[in-house]
Structure 1
Amino acid sequence: MNAMDNDFLFDEESEDAVRRYEQSVNDRRMPYFDVEELEAIADYYLSYGQTKESSKVIELGLKLHPNNTALQRKRAKVYLLSGEAQKAYQIVERNFPLDDAESLMLKGEALMQLHRTKEASLIFQHLIRLPDIDIESTYLDIAYIYIASGDYSSALSYLEQGVAIDNKSLDLLQETAICCEQLQKIEKAIDYYQRMISIDPYFTEAWYNLGLVYFGQAAYEKALDAFDFVTIIDDKDAGGWLQKGNTFFHLNQYNEALTCYSQCEKLTVYEGILYVFMGECLEKMEKYDEAKIYYNKSLEINNQDVEGWIGLGICALETEDYETAATHFQKALDIEPNNSEALVYLAETQINTNKSEEALMSYRKSLVLEPNQPETWLSMGNVYVDLGLYEQAVVTYQRALSQDDSLENIYLFLAIAEYKSGHISSAMEFLDKARESNPEANMLFLELCPEATSLLEDHQK
């Protein structure tokens, strides 16, 4: 093994210590190392996740320097990283005084891993009352321990205590904001990001995370402002350009999105997904031939890219090349059989090639995978109407209505299906609702149900 092939970021003395240690392992001899050198070597291996190698270094250290507290502490850390919390706890409990901050942190972490949370909480409360502790690192480290156990509420409690003492710490503020996001306390998260920005207006990470929060809330204009600042502060920030492009896309500003994606392409490699995004922009602009170029680029990089195949299928569907579209959607389903989106699009090609039964089957499969698809329920109801299966259409439209009562013409479709099913009273009720949003509802209803003219006249008297 030649560990120095990695980017080693420690100082020159530490690098030299690692080199001498690895050379001695290769030569099967062991020179003398002082405690600081051994800690540096152990930390080096820990930084690369090589806990076994780090443990060997510590064992050597304890032979050279028996009962050294720094090495014992390092040994406990390795045990924690290896999931051997009981051994770590025994070392800390046996070797360190109750006023040693670093050891208390290790003890608390070991207790958390052992699921002795009440005892861990007492340790942490004692720890933060010690004099002369480093506020930022202490509260952050306690929070990280709780986060590792999935207890974001406790983590947030300590972070907010830390912020109350040191309200200028960007690290504390950032972790507090992230915890708020995890707990769906979105307004509080936004407030913390804004506080970070007021401290350092050029802190791109705060602007970026703020943009992501706004994006997640569909507040796209605010998200765009945040990502704008990211790219203004650092025009080489590929992530900023990517998210700015995604935001423009959701604002239906496809040319602007393409510009951002192109800028991102110059800065980094996002595999094929970036080409899919670019293809989607062109597809939305109805530039299907250009869109296909980018979808094919994504597939040249990865021919198992489901989104690339779906994109090609949509382009073929929009240009009424239904056979090609079906082939592309089927390819996507060969790769990912449970892709509900591909099943819906496949159903559309089947409807357009007069394969209504196959279309119904595709819709059903999609809805089993993802039941909350109001537009798909609506489309399936339309197929039932075309087949004269009006009772099934009523049930299907009702599912669509229950999921989204703002669907265009849903009340009109229900009125037609109910009427065709012989449910006259229900049909008239739905038609009344349909007229509230569509003044032409009566005319459209009568186009499909011309025999209801006199009924409708009587109903409106």
Structure 2
Amino acid sequence: MEERDISDLLARYEQMLLTGKSMYFDADEYDDLAEYYDKLDDIETAREIVDLGLSIHPDNEALMLRFGKYLVYDAKYTTALHYLNSRFSSYDFELYLLKIECLLHLDLYAEAYELTAEILSDEDTDLDVILSELGFLYVGAEYYDEAILYFEKSLEYDPNNMEVLNDLAYAYEVKSDFASAIIVCNQILDADPYSIDSWIMLGKLYSLEEDFEKAIDAFDFALALDETNINILKLKAHCLLLSERSEEAIEMLKECIKMSPDESLLYLSLAECYMSLEQYKDVLKALSAYEDLVGETPESMAKKAHAYLLQGKIDEAVEFIDKALNADSDSFDVNMIAGEVYLKLNIPSGAEIFYKKALTLNEENAEEVLEKLVSVYLRKDELLNAIECQERLFEITESTQSHEKLALLYMENGDKESFQAAIESFDDESLFSILSVFYPNDMSDPPSRESMLLRLNEAYECRLLYKNIKY
């Protein structure tokens, strides 16, 4: 719809402000003025206009609706809902959207769904718009399953709605359904192949799927559209490192440093690349460049400690990890590296303290920490603690490798019931793998399942012979 020309109305309003003299505006004019400033994102002026309009036209529904909208904008959901319920009694699409938004943010899902159903039953035109508006409300309130449903239904009417496609991709990403998000992102790019933001989003999604080569390809397309975009270069460098193409990552980071030499985090990323190549002198140079910009930080000191540790320079490693701990004892990375240092010093009890602290600091990295704790407890001959950590690790990963290791720990601990339950749940490939631990030179042809189970039970009975097996 073509916008109305309100230049005369604006001139009158500005004249009123300039002279300080009151002028009469009808309710529609106040609404038009508020809409104008709303679109300029000048919300404060729009509020003032609505307040002034309501002081003259207190029962005007359009102005009352705008007043309620600003309450919602301020996240005053209870106040907004009370206001809207007290001022309106009949159905109105915009009104119901505001009420639904309030109800969703107040976790009153059933009431919100009731109003949603009423909208869908009363409206029979522009369903693509109605469904998309509902989707925006539900995604804003973090009801992602419902948002996805409404967005997908909206796209049945208008498959090329970019705003809906972008929000649908976002909803899938938040739910960690990266594969679906990638499909939607590709739909966006089919419609607009020159969208840099969409290529960046696709690259990020592929990196979350750990498909780093495809992520790199996506970032290359983005760079073809904007070759000097440092953010894209950094994203590509990160994926190059994760795909074990560290030399290329280093060159890209050096290019970024030329573009932005005072961006300190680039030097930390560069140090990480050199670390992956075991080029420890270059690691320390990169960290020194970082510290020239921001001074010593717990992160840089911990990374120095790690570099010295991997070079076998234990005294230097201890010096820097102690400094890092004094600076920030609640850093996950610092505690992890401290654990490694203490293991290298053959002080497993000290390593245990730091790894357990790290586990409390970052549950998202529990897998990495639990693996370290299993090693610590085996070093301390604390099998029950090792088993407990391995059980937690298996719950998290559900991987064959962690299950096989758990079975071996059950064997070492003499827990026949748990050992048998574990091996009987293995498929033939896993049985063959664990049997190879005991009979590495007698595994040319996989025996039958029954034979493998029998031989593993025999190995269990002779477990004392295998106490020196390294887990």
- Under a length normalisation based on structure 1, what TM-score does the superposition of the two structures give? 0.72
5+ residue gaps, structure 2: 420-430, 443-461, 467-471
Q: How far does the alpha carbon of each residue in 1:365-418 deviate from its partner, in whole angstroms, 9 at most, with x for none?
A: 44565653354135425643xxxxx4x2685378458647648x979x979x95
Conserved 8 A contact 1:109-1:145:
yes
Matches of 2:253 and 2:12 in 1, distance apart?
Answer: 43
Going from structure 1 to structure 2, the CA distance change for 1:319 and 1:116 (only over 3 Å counts) comes to closer
Conserved 8 A contact 2:179-2:209:
no
Matches of 1:325 and 1:394 in 2, distance apart?
Answer: 31
Pairwise CA distance, 1:183: 2.8
Q: What is the aligned counterpart of 2:437 among 434, 454, 459?
A: 434
Going from structure 1 to structure 2, the CA distance change for 1:357 and 1:165 (only over 3 Å counts) comes to closer
Matches of 1:113 and 1:79 in 2, distance apart?
Answer: 13
Matches of 1:406 and 1:214 in 2, distance apart?
Answer: 25
Alignment of 1:222-261 (within 5 A): 222-261=214-253
Matches of 2:131 and 2:218 in 1, distance apart?
Answer: 28
5+ residue gaps, structure 1: 1-10, 385-389, 440-451, 457-461
Counterpart of 2:445? none
Amino acid in the other structure paired with 1:37: L
Give the fraction of aligned pairs with identical amino acids, expressed as a percent: 21
Going from structure 1 to structure 2, the CA distance change for 1:42 and 1:380 (only over 3 Å counts) comes to same
Counterpart of 2:342? 350
Conserved 8 A contact 1:38-1:61:
no
Counterpart of 2:146? 154
Conserved 8 A contact 1:17-1:37:
no
Pairwise CA distance, 1:344: 3.4
Counterpart of 2:165? 173
Going from structure 1 to structure 2, the CA distance change for 1:18 and 1:352 (only over 3 Å counts) comes to farther
Matches of 1:410 and 1:160 in 2, distance apart?
Answer: 44
Matches of 1:254 and 1:73 in 2, distance apart?
Answer: 57
Matches of 1:69 and 1:354 in 2, distance apart?
Answer: 76
- Which deviates more from structure 2 when the two are superposed, residues 244-253 or residues 271-280? 271-280
Counterpart of 2:126? 133
Counterpart of 2:66? 74
Amino acid in the other structure paired with 2:133: D
Alignment of 1:38-437 (within 5 A): 38-41=34-37, 55-64=47-56, 67-89=59-81, 92=84, 100-113=92-105, 115-128=107-120, 130=123, 132-133=125-126, 135-136=128-129, 138-265=130-257, 271-303=263-295, 305-353=297-345, 355=347, 357-366=349-358, 372=367, 373-381=369-377, 383-384=379-380, 390=381, 392=382, 396=386, 399-400=389-390, 403=394, 406=401, 433-435=436-438
- Which deviates more from structure 2 when the two are superposed, residues 189-198 or residues 98-107? 98-107
Counterpart of 1:459? none
Going from structure 1 to structure 2, the CA distance change for 1:172 and 1:267 (only over 3 Å counts) comes to farther
Conserved 8 A contact 1:99-1:130:
no
- CA RMSD of the aligned region, Å? 4.5
Counterpart of 2:428? none
SS of 1:218's partner is coil
SS of 1:40's partner is helix
Going from structure 1 to structure 2, the CA distance change for 1:367 and 1:116 (only over 3 Å counts) comes to closer
Matches of 2:359 and 2:82 in 1, distance apart?
Answer: 54
Conserved 8 A contact 1:62-1:71:
yes
Q: How far does the alpha carbon of each residue in 1:203-237 deviate from its partner, in whole angstroms, 9 at most, with x for none?
A: 23332222222211222222222222222222243
SS of 1:184's partner is coil
Amino acid in the other structure paired with 2:176: Q
Count, aligned residues: 412
Pairwise CA distance, 1:141: 2.6
SS of 1:192's partner is helix
Conserved 8 A contact 1:295-1:308:
yes
Going from structure 1 to structure 2, the CA distance change for 1:104 and 1:200 (only over 3 Å counts) comes to same
Matches of 2:441 and 2:46 in 1, distance apart?
Answer: 73
Q: Quick check: 1:37 aligned with 2:33? A: yes
Amino acid in the other structure paired with 1:226: A
Counterpart of 1:446? none
Pairwise CA distance, 1:321: 2.7
Conserved 8 A contact 1:298-1:305:
no
Matches of 2:229 and 2:370 in 1, distance apart?
Answer: 38
Matches of 2:148 and 2:200 in 1, distance apart?
Answer: 21
- Which deviates more from structure 2 when the two are superposed, residues 242-251 or residues 82-91? 82-91
Conserved 8 A contact 1:196-1:206:
yes
Conserved 8 A contact 1:378-1:397:
yes
Going from structure 1 to structure 2, the CA distance change for 1:115 and 1:366 (only over 3 Å counts) comes to closer
Amino acid in the other structure paired with 1:434: V
Matches of 1:95 and 1:203 in 2, distance apart?
Answer: 44
Pairwise CA distance, 1:165: 0.8
Pairwise CA distance, 1:151: 1.2
